[in-house]
Amino acid sequence: MYVAISGNIGSGKTTLTGLLVDKFGAKACYETEDNPYIGDFYEDMSRWAFNLQVYFLGSRIKQTMDILREEGDVIQDRTIYEDAHIFADNLHEMGLISSRDFATYMKIFNLSTGLIRQPDVLVYLKASVPTLVSQILKRGRSYEMNIDISYLDRLNRRYNDWIENKYTGNVLTVNVDEADFIMNPDVVDDIAARIVEMTSNK
């Protein structure tokens, strides 16, 4: 079983990944936090946006290829599809990645996604901007303290459009504003049960 957790910055992807790993006895594949460009990016987005996204893409390609070689259940924290369709595309639309650089990026992305399969279930953590801001402040990562609220809102709109109109795989949407999987174990049990139901019908 290959399950991926998707969602905006601060939606709780890493936390839910850990909870589901414990629930299923699965292997975790976490999003890399050692991107050497991330601090620079939040200070000067236009200068470092392309570098940031290419590094994330390379890391995600390697991680996803590793998943394909794994035996047993795997829970992945964010997918390669989000890197391209949400983050890189958004930065291009904002004028922070040039059209030439974006075309180069997408060529690499399209080549790599032709070699991998979609997750059996994509769990989408849908959260409002106030919820995202609250959770970002709680975890206290220094490089995230200056994230623009309008940037989070743009990403949210892209996520919703991607899930509703573009992504072709199985999606389980969790409303993070209402479902507190951190404080309520029953929510995790419900998510796990729905994942089992969706994968057993494949």
201 has pLDDT over 70: no
Q: How confident is the model at residue 143 (pLDDT cuts 50, 70, 90)?
A: low
Catalytic residues: 77
100 has pLDDT over 60: yes
List the structure tokens of 133.
């801001």
How confident is the model over 57-83, as pLDDT tens digits?
998 888 888 887 878 899 999 899 999
CATH code matching the domain that covers 2-7+33-125+143-200, chosen among 3.30.450.40, 3.40.50.300, 1.10.645.10, 3.20.20.70: 3.40.50.300
Q: Sheet containing 74-77: give its strands across.
A: 27-29, 74-77, 2-7, 121-126, 171-175
Q: Residue 78 and residue 31: Cα distance in Å, rounded?
A: 6
How confident is the model over 168-197, as pLDDT tens digits?
999 999 999 998 888 888 999 999 999 999
Q: How far is CA 133 from CA 56, 93, 126, in A?
A: 23, 23, 13
200 has pLDDT over 70: yes
Average pLDDT for residues 127-140, to the nearest whole number? 85
14 has pLDDT over 60: yes
3-state secondary structure of 74: strand
Mean pLDDT score of the chain: 90
Specify the pTM: 0.87
Q: Residue 191 and residue 7: Cα distance in Å, rounded?
A: 15
Q: Give the residue among 97, 108, 182, 103 at the shortest CA–CA distance from 139.
A: 182
3-state secondary structure of 90: helix
* Domain ranges (residues) in the chain: 2-7+33-125+143-200
How confident is the model over 147-159, as pLDDT tens digits?
778 889 999 999 9
127, 6 in Cβ contact below 8 A? no
Q: Residue 179 and residue 20: Cα distance in Å, rounded?
A: 15
How confident is the model over 87-96, as pLDDT tens digits?
999 999 999 9
